[in-house]
Structure 1
Amino acid sequence: MMIREVLVEPQAIAWLPWAVSYFFYIGLALCAIIAALCLRFFVKPYQPKSELIALLVALSFAIVAPIALTADLHQPGRVWHFYAYLANWSWMAWGSIFLPIFMLSLVGYILFLLRQLPQRPTQKWLALLYVGNLNNALWCWIFRILTIISSVLILLYTSMEVYNVAARPLWHQPWLIPLIIFSALPSAILLTHFAISMINGTNNKVLMKPLVIACLLLLAATVGAIYYHSSETALDLSTLWQARPAVAFTAVIWGLTLLLALFSAQAKTMQCLLLIASLILTAMVRWVLLLEVQTVAKYNALMNPYHFNWGVDGGLGMLSVAGLWVTVSVILWQLFGLINKEQRNG
């Protein structure tokens, strides 16, 4: 009898921090849209301006997310290949279709909601937003529905990009969508509240504290559901807990965020700390899901190595995307400030 020993070397990490950036920003964009819909249908009295602010928060993230995604392709110039050679078997190819539809729907939603505000700006270049005698309420509803549908498609595409890797039990399990939503929704709610309070100058009831706490508890329940989903997911989670400090750090941040949500007062300092902790939690959940999970061995006995670096494929890349989001946010903030100023003066 011949005995053969097969040695498999540790595998290099395939998905880099660019992917974490995409999942971070697209998750916040989708959850900011959820916050906008809550403001539209569940918060009384209805304030169109608050809904618009939430949508602008979503737009700032939605603009940046695809850029991080193209960077993760390593060759951003090949994006046009998705359209020239459509592969209907590839979720990434479908994502290249869903993302533009999502962006156009969101922009249309914002535009026709803006056109319904009572006063119109007098500056010529801003008045271009109001060209045409259209049924703004009807078109707003059309684009609102399109935004909801395209958001579901984006969420499906983003989840399937991970779920399709059957060799990773922590990816190939049915709790990905709840994990993505419940880890980002608290940050989206808090950011929306922060933006509305900054523009309106009041600390209103947009911060739905019970919803933030409920999302944090549901996030913990989702992690528990993943652990008990199968023996493979339990083994991989236990391995990560023992071998990767980032997992324990994420658990600590979750506990800190929950404490701040439970005991934060109306003081802006405490609310800022809650927002920062929530954003860190959102990012760390994605870091663990996408990067740390790759360190778990698939075919070998050793953990796959990953060491964070400050190059383009590491910290510098993440900081550049964050800087781009700040730039986009400032531009949108200034544009809305001009329109809002015109309306107050009117």
Structure 2
Amino acid sequence: MQIIELLTPHYEAAWLPWAVQYFFLAGMATGAALLAALCAWAPAGGPLRRLLPVAVLTLAVSVIAAPVSLLADLHQPARFWHFYAHFTPWSWMSVGALLLPVFVTLGIALCASWWLGRVGWMRALAPLLVLSALSITFYTGAEMMVVRARPLWHTLWVPVNLALTGWLATVGAAFVLERFLPAGLRPGAAALQRLRGLGLLLAAALAAVALAWVLAGLRGDSPSFDAALRLWRDFPVWRLTMLGSAVFGAAVLGALLRGRRRLDAPGYTLVLGVGLAASAWAFRWALFMGVQGVPKFGAGLYLYHMPLGGDGLLGMLGVAGLCVALVAMAGWALELFPARQGHAA
């Protein structure tokens, strides 16, 4: 009997945790942009208009922190210039280098318009910001979908799921950040219920997309479903990850459903918001870091060991610290200029 041993070389992860932070913050920023644009056009004094301050705060934090994560993921920030000096229109990275600065500029402009109390400016910027946010949503999803060597990425379901989970993270961040607003700018119970309704709508859409993905896979029309089945069947680590994701997702959905009577309970919105944001982040971690642990060719599973330095834990803590610093600066500015608190609408 002849024994043949097959060896598969181990490759380092091409996309580091910086990419997880960037796609998480970019998804949150697009959701905040859409929410801020919706609130800007809502009737004055209504529940949606009362959400405008927290939508602006969420947009300001995420639209500033996201590009920082992207530059860090490039390892050498000067590489960003290469996208302009050597433009390649067939590369989504190169196209994104044009789309992202436009989105960041429009997002900061809308935040500045709210700060100055210029409702007319906000309403003029809102349609442009919506179009720009949708372009970022499409580009970030397409950047993963074009990788044919990864069946779990090379599918239309990936950009759809990235968009919906990113917008759910926006709802979660809004639940958390509204607690840091001055009393005159906090949304109130009716507005928070409207925010909960948006979260339920997004969760229902995400469940419908998951069901459609399963049905397409059972019909044999989705190679990504076949790849997921292989991970479930052959790798206990992935089986545990999928089960944990399902249980955590059901818990978050249950918290949203129970929020109709419990949003005024102390700490409930904080736990709910952190849960929504954490589930969106965990989805990206599994999608980026977990999938890269599966060899493109051959058998086996590479378990990723996160480094403690700038390419791993320290970098993630740095991004979290940047977001906390931005929230603190915004709170300080609102306290320093208390007259702005009268412009919640």
| Letter matched to residue 100 of structure 1 | P
2:102 equivalent in structure 1? 101
What is the CA–CA distance in structure 1 between the aligned matches of 2:74 and 2:291, rounded to whole Å? 20
2:291 equivalent in structure 1? 293
CA-CA distance at 1:167 after TM superposition: 1.5
The structure 2 residue matched to 1:243, chosen from 237, 244, 261, is 237
CA-CA distance at 1:101 after TM superposition: 0.8
Structure 1 residues 272, 140: closer, same or farther in 2, change over 3 A?
Answer: closer
Structure 1 residues 27, 343: closer, same or farther in 2, change over 3 A?
Answer: closer
What is the CA–CA distance in structure 1 between the aligned matches of 2:40 and 2:342, rounded to whole Å? 22
Give TM-score, length-normalised by structure 2: 0.84
Aligned 8 A contact 1:173 1:226 in 2: no
What is the CA–CA distance in structure 1 between the aligned matches of 2:222 and 2:90, rounded to whole Å? 30
The structure 1 residue matched to 2:280, chosen from 279, 282, 293, is 282
The structure 2 residue matched to 1:213, chosen from 182, 186, 200, is 200
What is the CA–CA distance in structure 1 between the aligned matches of 2:197 and 2:131, rounded to whole Å? 27
1:175 equivalent in structure 2? 157
What is the CA–CA distance in structure 2 between the aligned matches of 1:18 and 1:82, rounded to whole Å? 19
1:146 equivalent in structure 2? 128
CA-CA distance at 1:232 after TM superposition: 2.5
The structure 2 residue matched to 1:326, chosen from 317, 324, 327, is 324
| Letter matched to residue 143 of structure 1 | L
Q: Secondary structure at the match of 1:103?
A: helix
Matched length: 323
Aligned 8 A contact 1:296 1:303 in 2: yes
Identity %: 30
| Letter matched to residue 116 of structure 1 | G
Structure 1 residues 193, 305: closer, same or farther in 2, change over 3 A?
Answer: closer
Aligned 8 A contact 2:18 2:70 in 1: yes
Superimposed CA distance per residue, residues 286-325 of structure 1 (whole angstroms, 9 cap, x where no aligned partner): 1111111222232111223322332322111111111111
CA-CA distance at 1:15 after TM superposition: 1.0
Q: Secondary structure at the match of 2:189?
A: coil
Structure 1 residues 84, 106: closer, same or farther in 2, change over 3 A?
Answer: same
1:59 equivalent in structure 2? 60
Aligned 8 A contact 1:10 1:303 in 2: no
CA-CA distance at 1:192 after TM superposition: 2.5
Higher mean C-alpha displacement, 303-312 vs 269-278: 303-312
Aligned 8 A contact 2:175 2:269 in 1: no
Superimposed CA distance per residue, residues 99-125 of structure 1 (whole angstroms, 9 cap, x where no aligned partner): 1111111122222333336xxxxxxxx
Aligned 8 A contact 1:102 1:154 in 2: yes
Aligned 8 A contact 2:24 2:280 in 1: yes
1:203 equivalent in structure 2? 188
CA-CA distance at 1:7 after TM superposition: 4.6
CA-CA distance at 1:257 after TM superposition: 0.6
| Letter matched to residue 243 of structure 1 | V
Gaps of 5+ in 1: 118-135
CA-CA distance at 1:91 after TM superposition: 1.2
| Letter matched to residue 40 of structure 2 | R
Aligned 8 A contact 1:52 1:114 in 2: no
Give TM-score, length-normalised by structure 1: 0.84
What is the CA–CA distance in structure 2 between the aligned matches of 1:235 and 1:173, rounded to whole Å? 12
What is the CA–CA distance in structure 1 between the aligned matches of 2:49 and 2:198, rounded to whole Å? 21
What is the CA–CA distance in structure 1 between the aligned matches of 2:117 and 2:277, rounded to whole Å? 32
What is the CA–CA distance in structure 2 between the aligned matches of 1:311 and 1:212, rounded to whole Å? 35
Gaps of 5+ in 2: none
Query: Following superposition of structure 1 onto structure 2, how do residues 1-346 of structure 1 map, counting pairs within 5 Å?
Result: 7-41=7-41, 45-46=45-46, 50-116=51-117, 137=120, 139-196=121-178, 198-199=181-182, 200=184, 201=186, 203-207=188-192, 208=194, 209-227=196-214, 228-229=216-217, 230=221, 232-241=223-232, 242-244=236-238, 245-264=240-259, 265=262, 266-341=264-339, 344=342
What is the CA–CA distance in structure 2 between the aligned matches of 1:81 and 1:214, rounded to whole Å? 41
CA-CA distance at 1:263 after TM superposition: 1.8
Q: Secondary structure at the match of 2:147?
A: coil
Higher mean C-alpha displacement, 73-82 vs 237-246: 237-246
| Letter matched to residue 311 of structure 1 | G
Structure 1 residues 192, 243: closer, same or farther in 2, change over 3 A?
Answer: closer
Aligned 8 A contact 2:151 2:227 in 1: yes
What is the CA–CA distance in structure 1 between the aligned matches of 2:284 and 2:306, rounded to whole Å? 15
